Amino acid sequence: MASSAIPPQDRVKGFLPLALDRRALIALVVGGLIIALPTMIFVARETWDSEEGAHAPIVLATGLWLLVRQWPSALMVAKRPPLLRVVLLLAVLLPLYCLSRITQIVEIEGYLMYAVLIAALYSLVGGRALRRLWFPLLYLAFIFPPPETIVWTITFPLKMALSSVAVKFLALFGYPIGGKGVSIYIGQYELLVAAACSGLNSIISLSALTLFYIYLRHQAEWRYALLLSLLIVPVALLANFVRVLILILLTYHAGEASAQGFLHNFAGLLMFMIALTTMMGIDAVLKPSLQRLKAPL
């Protein structure tokens, strides 16, 4: 079946294509809500009150704002795909999503639900329009937690390295500190590496918010945006290093209870501020420097 472009007269205020049958459009919206709402409630209940998922409401709000902002541009190239292609796509995704609802694995269910919604959007506007919306759609995927196995595999070696560097750094200033395995010893206190370096679990949050900043500031300069994106992980590691130092020093000077209470959460907020401020500072220094290098002598 050949695809057909959506003519301008079939659009309502530049937002929704009317070339679909009105009943089909209503069914599409209602079906999307039936699929999305239970999973979103499940994801919010399971992850949004944790350090790893606290960024999700912000990402959801800003991602939907980006999607609405770029929707008119996407409709300029909207073209309905062949019906058979859509049917085959949904025939694969919907059973997988239903299976994920039964297993109640939050990571799998979230991503499969999102894949079904993107497939529904594809049936409405086609592939070229989705390519116009690539960043909002990619950015919105950050509201779903990545699989814990992947997070642990990536972050555990980083936690061990970060704790080792923190121990050696504080030892230079005469602190009675040492480390063995997954433990950090300072004075009469013992900290677990997993607890002290738990901020590394929020590297996804830092990545999402930093990508949002880069996209808003430099979306037209993809090479420079890519360069800044490559700095996200080093900046996140620097921010987490500062967080670990703060928690170790709080434990030593104010006791273990202080380090695990309100000040523990404050150290997490401070980590976000350090990471975002550092990225903005790098941007403010790096871009003028590159422009001067490109300027003719």
Catalytic sites, residue numbers: 197, 243
Q: What dihedral do alpha carbons 143, 147, 150, 154 form, nearest 10°?
A: 40
Q: What dihedral do alpha carbons 28, 33, 39, 40 form, nearest 10°?
A: 130
135: its two tokens: 């960043």
DSSP state of 54: T
CB 238 within 8 A of CB 217: no
**Which runs of consecutive H residues, i.e. helices, occur in 179-231?**
193-196, 203-218, 222-230
Which three-class secondary structure state does DSSP give residue 108?
A: helix
Helices 262-294 and 232-254, axial angle in degrees (round to 10): 150
159: its two tokens: 């936690």
Tokens 């694995």 — which residue?
105
